[in-house]
Amino acid sequence: NAGVTQTPKFRILKIGQSMTLQCAQDMNHNYMYWYRQDPGMGLKLIYYSVGAGITDKGEVPNGYNVSRSTTEDFPLRLELAAPSQTSVYFCASKEGQHTDTQYFGPGTRLTVL
């Protein structure tokens, strides 16, 4: 199993551009999450999904959108990128409601200039 994969690894955007961060998992996990990690700030939850077709906001959802059309994929969309969205983005997945361990992808480092 590849686990949780994320693409791209790095990206530089100009202010106002849009992009989609890709996340996929091959473990048949129902729960998927998007976090952002800023230096010295830990990880903050952006959006999460408990299954295909079901998504909900986390702590810092403004400026982002998500969709979950399949169990495997959970893309994160940035519309009108702003410098405040410069961060490292991590996708994670968890098997189901009665399991606790979240498995993280390798991250996408995004810079907005």
Partner 1 sequence: QQQVKQSPQSLIVQKGGISIINCAYENTAFDYFPWYQQFPGKGPALLIAIRPDVSEKKEGRFTISFNKSAKQFSLHIMDSQPGDSATYFCAASRRSGAGSYQLTFGKGTKLSVIP
For partner 1, the binding residue among 22, 52, 58, 65 (CB under 8 A) is 58
What 3-state DSSP class applies to 85?
A: helix
Instruction: Tell me if 62 contacts partner 1 by CB under 8 A.
Output: no
Instruction: Tell me if 94 contacts partner 1 by CB under 8 A.
Output: yes
State whether the Cα torsion 51-110-100-93 is positive or negative: positive
Instruction: Tell me if 11 contacts partner 1 by CB under 8 A.
Output: no
User: CB 16 → partner 1: shortest distance, Å?
Assistant: 29
Residue with tokens 């690894």: 9
| C-beta separation of 112 from 86 below 8 A | yes
For partner 1, the binding residue among 22, 44, 52, 75 (CB under 8 A) is 44
For partner 1, the binding residue among 11, 17, 19, 43 (CB under 8 A) is 43
* DSSP code at position 39: T
Q: What Å distances lie between residue 37 and 93, 99, 102, CA to CA? A: 16, 24, 16
Count of residues engaged in binding partner 1, rule: CB under 8 A: 24
**Residues forming the site for partner 1 (CB under 8 A):** 4, 31, 33, 40-45, 48, 50, 58, 90, 92, 94, 97, 100-107
